[in-house]
Each structure stands twice: as C-alpha cells, then as structure tokens.
Amino acid sequence: MSFSGKILDWYHINKRSLPWRDSTEPYKIWLSEIILQQTRVAQGTPYYLRFIETFPTVDDLANANEEQVLKLWQGLGYYSRARNLHAAAKMVVDDHGGKFPESYQQLLTLKGVGDYTASAISSICFNEPQAVVDGNVYRVLARYYGINTPINSTEGIKYFKSLAEKVMDPDHIRDYNQGIMEFGAIQCSPKKPLCLHCPFSDSCVALQKGLVDQLPVKLKKTKVRNRYFNYLIPIYKDTSGNQFTRLNQRIGKGIWQNLWEFPLLESKNALEIDDITIRYKEVLDTLQSVEILEYNENAIVHKLSHQHLHTRFWIIYTDTKFENQIPVEKITEFPVPVLIADFIKAFKF
C-alpha cells in the first residue's frame, strides 16, 4: 500500500476526538490552527473552547477590542498570535464581507496565516490539495524516508515541502493532512515513538538503519540572554481602606507587546534594596515612598525561549496618591504575562 494509504488507514482507526475535528467551518478551523501554532493540543484546547464560547463567530471576534482578546489569550504565549488573530478577524469582516477566503493564496494574505496554516485551512475546509508541513510532518517524513537535511534550513524547508506534496493524497487531502499530523503526534512521537507496532515498520528507513532517535535533524538553537527585572509595586491605601496600585502597558517591540505589568526597573545586574531606594524614582518619579519591602529574596527566574528573566518584586508603600493608580481589585481585568499573574495570585493585595 502507498504511504498515503497507510496514513489514511491509520488515521481512521486512531484519530482523537477533538472539539474542532468534526467541523469544516473556516472560523473554527482557523481559530484552532492559530491557537495550536507551537502549542500542544492539551494546552490549547481549553483556550479554543473559551474563544468559541466568548466569540461564537468571526464577527464577534472582530467587534471585540484587543484588550479582551489578549485577556482571553493570557497564558498561551506568543502574543503576536492574539494580536494577529484579532487583526485577521477584522480583515475577514471588513475586506471579505464576513466570509473567509476559500483559497490557499487568499488565506495567505490574512495576518498570522503562513504557509502551514493556509494549507491546513484550505485543505480541511475546502478540500484544496495543499500539503501541510508542521513539526509532525517534518518528523514523519524525515524518519520514513531517512532524510538528514536540517528541517529548519532553507534547503530543508523547501525539500520537505516538495516531498510532502509528492506523497500526499490529493483526493483525500482533508483526512490525509490531519492523518499525517496525528500520526506524528501519537505514533511517530519525538521521544519513544511506537515503532514496535507501526504500520510502516517494514519500510521506514530510520527504523531499518537505527536512526529513529537521530531524525529529524535540526540546526542548533540560539542562546539565551539574561535580563534583570525589578518590578516595583506601589501601594496606596486611602482613608476608606481602599488599596491602589499601578500597571503600565508594554509598548514597542520585544516581549509581551501590549500586555500590562507593574512599573519595571530593568538593570544590567541584580539590584539590592539600597539600589531600589535610590533608583525607584526612575520609573515612579512622582511617588513619595514611605517604605520599601523586598518581596522575594531570591530572584524568580522566568524562562522564555530566548531570555531568562531574573525577577525581583519590591513593594513600595506610600501615603499619597500617585499617577495612573488603579484599584487593586481591577488588576485581574488586565492581560498580563504569566510572571505577573503568578505574583498577583501569590501576593494577595
């Protein structure tokens, strides 16, 4: 049997039941694909369900404000996906009359939709014969055909895309595409793949040559940068006992764009309380400090793909009002990074 035939047979027996699986609505497929970019099904599924419940149609999503979208996205990471999701929803409503474009080429014009996602939507929703190439497909093809070209090299990207197109089943593209990805996720997994009872065990090059654990080949990752974050949490209590603090929105480039955080004093090296006492005015210039408390003695190391954030939180009590103060009970309404959300949860204002 052909490669694609075995994939299809395997898929029909082993496919998981997923919330978006039985749908061909472009909105649902698109939403699921954006959420699942670089994200495991288990992590993304609850977000998908909340998005569908909150925004049942692309029109609802387009009419939301970015703040709502980011809040719902909070904790998923890669927040440009959420901003692009919102922008693309507006494009569908404003430029396409609320109806998703129905071709690979047209789908590519949507923000946040690249080669993989356009292939996935066009094939799953419209049966357009476009081969998907995601992390699963790279792994399955590299192993089965014994290819050691690095999957993240320019040559590898081109090679695997053309190979995927060569071996796909254009007449059953909807199930074939989902099948090869499902196969990679369940059977041909990155570690400890289930080669013992695999439908390809008699023809898999990697298995026959003992190269399963060496494929696919990937160029080395970039190194990590260390940064030192000091979050200053101003707290003012008025005569009625109401507490106020402050959040700033991150702007410009870099991590956590458009998310909110406490006033941040970043430094070249770790700071101590004496440094904070002097330098807090760099980010809270008008604040009259009464008392500064060290929240965590040992820095919390928040790890991102390219950065390690050595973070300390400093509580700054004041007896006067300050600029942009917000009631502490409102802070949960703002979209914040997990690092900040964890602090808020633990601190209990």
Partner DNA sequence: AAGTCGGGGAG
Partner DNA sequence: CTCCCAGACTT
- Residues forming contacts to DNA in the complex (CB under 7 A) are 18, 21, 32-33, 36-43, 75-80, 84, 111-118, 120, 134-136, 138-139, 153-155, 178, 181-182, 184-185, 190-192, 218-219, 221-222, 225, 253-257, 302-307, 337-339
Task: Specify the residue, 141 or 287, whose C-beta has the smaller distance to DNA.
Answer: 141
Contact in structure between 302 and 309 (CB atoms under 8 Å): yes
DSSP symbols for 64-92: S-HHHHHHHHTTS--THHHHHHHHHHHHH
Distance from C-alpha of 69 to C-alpha of 335, rounded to nearest angstrom: 9
Task: Specify the residue, 192 or 274, whose C-beta has the smaller distance to DNA.
Answer: 192
Task: Specify the residue, 123 or 318, whose C-beta has the smaller distance to DNA.
Answer: 123
- Least CB distance from residue 149 to DNA, whole Å? 12
- Residues with a catalytic annotation lie at 33
Task: Specify the residue, 31 or 233, whose C-beta has the smaller distance to DNA.
Answer: 31
- Least CB distance from residue 178 to DNA, whole Å? 5
Contact in structure between 130 and 118 (CB atoms under 8 Å): yes
- Least CB distance from residue 341 to DNA, whole Å? 8
Per-residue tokens: 126: 């419209």
Task: Specify the residue, 116 or 313, whose C-beta has the smaller distance to DNA.
Answer: 116
Using the CB atoms, write b or e for 283-318: b if 16+ within 10 Å.
bbeebebeeeeeeeeebbebeeeeeebbbbbbbbeb
- Least CB distance from residue 8 to DNA, whole Å? 14
- Least CB distance from residue 271 to DNA, whole Å? 21
Distance from C-alpha of 93 to C-alpha of 67, rounded to nearest angstrom: 19
Contact in structure between 152 and 65 (CB atoms under 8 Å): no
Contact in structure between 181 and 120 (CB atoms under 8 Å): no
Per-residue tokens: 232: 């200053």
